[in-house]
């Protein structure tokens, strides 16, 4: 026979609980979006870019789990919602990384809004937890800009694109 105990859930404001739960969903959606992009690259024989996107998808899953663990550590609870279907059709590698960069800029705005909410709710522990994500977003956006710069240099060269694909795979493996 199991005995259930109700955990005390008092440390986070209702607004923060809701926003942090929504952020879990956004991170898991990011993971799904990048996995869909990986599938597109695999289907188009660009295994380096596919590998990069699969690793990015794993990182996004980990980001979602960081919020998940934080909610419980802070005495709240996780309420998972449905993850939206990601697009399945994509354009050129450059268009995909432009989309990725734009997506990450949206995530940065979302993290910044969470930080502002934590300040407004007078919740320093959540502010401190969000420092990690604020720094992470600087890196995420830089990674996308770096690849976009390289794709600009490659231009329309198929050979250049294949070389960059190998370079991206090697670089990501070293991360
Ligand atoms: Fe979890 Fe790419 O932001």
Which numbered atom of ligand 1 lies nearest the CA of 63? 1
pLDDT at residue 7 tops 80:
no
pLDDT 10s digits, 137-165: 999 999 999 999 999 999 999 999 999 99
Residue 130 CA to ligand 1 centre (angstroms): 12
Which numbered atom of ligand 1 lies nearest the CA of 56? 2
- Which pLDDT belongs to residue 75? 87
- Which pLDDT belongs to residue 175? 63
Residue 111 CA to ligand 1 centre (angstroms): 9
- Which pLDDT belongs to residue 81? 96
The pTM of this model reads 0.92
pLDDT 10s digits, 9-26: 668 999 999 999 999 999
From the list 145, 129, 155, 1, the residue with the least C-alpha distance to 67 is 129
Whether the Cβ atoms of residue 54 and residue 38 lie closer than 8 Å to each other: yes
pLDDT at residue 67 tops 90:
yes
pLDDT 10s digits, 123-135: 999 999 999 999 9
CA distance 128 to 70: 11
pLDDT 10s digits, 77-121: 899 999 999 999 999 999 999 999 999 999 999 999 999 999 999
Ligand 1 proximal residues by C-beta, below 6 Å: 27, 30, 60, 63, 104, 107, 140
Tell me the pLDDT band of 170, cut-offs 50, 70 and 90.
Answer: confident
Residue 2 CA to ligand 1 centre (angstroms): 38
Which numbered atom of ligand 1 lies nearest the CA of 104? 2
pLDDT at residue 8 tops 80:
no
From the list 22, 17, 96, the residue with the least C-alpha distance to 64 is 22
Count Cβ atoms below 10 Å from residue 129 Cβ, excluding itself: 20
Residue 77 CA to ligand 1 centre (angstroms): 22
CA distance 27 to 25: 5
Nearest C-alpha to atom 1 of ligand 1 is from which residue? 60
pLDDT at residue 48 tops 90:
yes
CA-CA distances (angstroms) from residue 90 to 39, 57, 71, 105? 10, 17, 35, 19
């Amino acid at each position: 026979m199991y005995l259930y105990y109700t955990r005390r859930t008092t440390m986070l404001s209702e607004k923060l609980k809701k926003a942090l739960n929504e952020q879990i969903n956004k991170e898991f959606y990011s993971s799904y979006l990048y996995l869909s992009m990986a599938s597109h690259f695999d289907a188009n024989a660009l295994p380096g870019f596919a590998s990069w996107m699969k690793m990015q998808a794993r990182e996004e899953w980990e980001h979602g789990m960081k919020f998940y663990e934080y909610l419980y550590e802070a005495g709240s609870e996780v309420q998972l919602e449905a993850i939206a279907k990601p697009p399945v059709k994509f354009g050129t590698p450059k268009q995909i990384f432009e989309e990725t960069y734009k997506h990450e800029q949206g995530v940065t705005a979302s993290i910044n809004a969470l930080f502002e909410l934590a300040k407004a709710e007078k919740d320093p522990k959540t502010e401190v937890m969000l420092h990690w994500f604020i720094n992470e977003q600087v890196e995420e956006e830089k990674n996308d800009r770096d690849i976009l710069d390289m794709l600009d240099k490659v231009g329309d060269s198929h050979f250049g694109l294949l070389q960059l694909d190998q370079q991206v795979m090697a670089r990501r493996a070293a991360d």
